[in-house]
Amino acid sequence: MPLQETVQQGLKIVIVGGFGVGKTTMVRSVSEIRPLDTEATMTDAGVGVDDSSLVPGKSTTTVAFDFGRISIDAEHVLYLFGAPGQERFWFLWDRLFTGALGAIVLVDPHRIADCWYAIDRLEHQRTPFVVACNDFGHTADLAQVRDALDLDPHVPLLDCDARSRESGKQVLIALVEHLYAGAALTPESAS
């Protein structure tokens, strides 16, 4: 689907989280275009570097970023960037955060510690974010996840299924509402 000539503004959202948490899957499920991805087959070179023991059956990994697009209306388009999850690719994150309106931190509730770095980087960059708990077929106890992450009360936390377009859409809506609420509280918006 080509970009409409009426588009005036592109809005950037980044999806981050641990290795194998579903970032590529989420970009694929919500994008209106065939996503660009940099999936590469995992090889023996990653043995001892990437811990794939907690994501059995995973045979590919993102080595740069995923990219998708959603048209909001005739004038606005949302660009989605999925960041790679392995520590060896974290150097890319600050570049991906540049110009981002906000981010989604995708969490596997069985591997909470895998997203601490993402939350730390977003807080350091002062990038607003929501946390989406990818259910992997099991609904998580969000209160326990919030406690484990020591999330500020104002940070939205919700369940999602990264495979579902509708679920991904609800996460994006929650992020937009969070961004809008934050903008309404800034001193510039009061003048």
The single-letter DSSP state of residue 28 is: H
Strands 129-134 and 157-160: parallel
- Considering the entire predicted model, what is its pTM? 0.80
CA distance 165 to 21: 16
The closest alpha carbon to 12, from 67, 49, 89, belongs to 67
**Which domains, ranges and CATH numbers included, belong to the chain?**
9-46+59-190 (3.40.50.300)
pLDDT at position 10 is 82
Q: What is the pLDDT of residue 110?
A: 86
174/36 Cα distance (integer angstroms)? 24
Question: What is the enclosing helix (H) or strand (E) of 109?
Answer: none
Within 8 A by CB and 6+ apart from 16, the residues are: 23, 83, 85, 93, 103, 104, 105, 106, 115, 118, 121, 122
pLDDT confidence of residue 140: 80
The token duo for 161 is: 């299924």
Q: What is the pLDDT of residue 134?
A: 93
What pLDDT score was predicted for residue 159?
Answer: 94
Find how far residue 148's CA is from the centre of its chain.
19
In Å, the largest CA–CA distance within the chain is 58
pLDDT of residue 48: 54
Between vectors from CA 146 to CA 142 and to CA 151, what angle results, nearest 5°?
Answer: 150
Low-confidence ranges of the chain (pLDDT < 70): 1-3, 36, 38-64, 85-89, 184-191
